[in-house]
Amino acid sequence: MSITVFGGEKGGTGKTTLATNIASMLAMEGKDVLLLDTDRQGTASFWATVREEDEVEPRVSCVQKFGKGLAAQVQDLAERYDEIIIDAGGRDSLELRYALGVADQVYIPVQPFQFDIWTIRQMDTLVEMAKTFNEALVANIVLNRVSTNPVVREDRDTREFILQENFENLGLTNSMVYDRIAFRKAARDGISVMEYRRDKKAINEMNGLYEEIYGD
Ligand SMILES: Nc1ncnc2c1ncn2[C@@H]1O[C@H](COP(=O)(O)OP(=O)(O)OP(=O)(O)O)[C@@H](O)[C@H]1O
Ligand SMILES: [Mg+2]
């Protein structure tokens, strides 16, 4: 059992996209997974509603939770599910802070083209604070929406830059997720790129990330 957060203070980086894909992949592995939406925009919940209305199997349970009681609620829910995925979006970082307090791991999507060193430093600090009472917390940046154009070397440059920064509390996943229409199409239908099936590369990328998160 683990609690995994997709979070970060910057908007539109792919938190919901990665959280919903990973949740569906866990369900496909037969896990009883809970997708916890702590973002008032409710994008993950909307995805789950579409999924439910279309009667997509396997089912992915999804609930929305906000505010102060979050940490206690997550710990309570953790006893009833095999895996918990938290989409900690939103501009207000209150939910993100609570989530970091109870999570085993957090993945922070970063888009090379809207790379923002200030918010990454901010995350490094947030993780450091969380670690004072949640020592085992593991935090990793994952590059998302990387350009598929080989001429654009932003992924390499961004990786180099992040590694040079030597963040105290943030690692960088080996897997990267590229900018692929399949992610947008799948999201619309309440499914993952696995279930969408038409984009092998997107599938491979998500499998790589999944392995990094849950493999041993
Ligand atoms: N790898 C990808 N390839 C193509 N499109 C993507 C990819 N990842 C995310 N997107 C698209 O980018 C937009 C923002 O993604 P998403 O909603 O997952 O970000 P977010 O971090 O959850 O945003 P917010 O901060 O608003 O909650 C969406 O339209 C989504 O479909
Ligand atoms: Mg979101």
| Number of domain units in the chain | 1
Report whether pLDDT(2) > 80.
yes
Q: How many residues does the chain have?
A: 216
Q: Which atom of ligand 1 is nearest to the CA of 12?
A: 23
Pocket test for ligand 1, best of 9, 16, 50, 144 (most atoms within 8 A of CB): 16
Identify the CATH number of the domain in which residue 132 sits.
3.40.50.300
- For ligand 2, the distance from its centroid to the CA atom of residue 8, given in whole angstroms, is 10
CA of 187 to the centre of ligand 1 (A): 9
Specify the pLDDT at position 93.
Answer: 79
Band the pLDDT of 85: cuts 50, 70, 90.
very high
Of the chain, the percentage scoring pLDDT greater than 70 comes to 99
Indicate if the pLDDT at residue 161 is higher than 80: yes
Q: How far is the CA of 179 from the centre of ligand 1 (A)?
A: 10
Q: What confidence category does residue 92 fall into, taking pLDDT thresholds of 50, 70 and 90?
A: low
The whole domain housing 47 covers 2-214
DSSP per residue, 103-135: -SEEEEEE-GGG--HHHHHHHHHHHHHHHTT-T
CB atoms within 10 A of CB 42: 16
Mean pLDDT over all residues of the chain? 95
Output the pLDDT for position 207: 98
Say whether pTM exceeds 0.85: yes
Does any ligand 1 atom lie closer than 6 A to the CB of residue 4? no
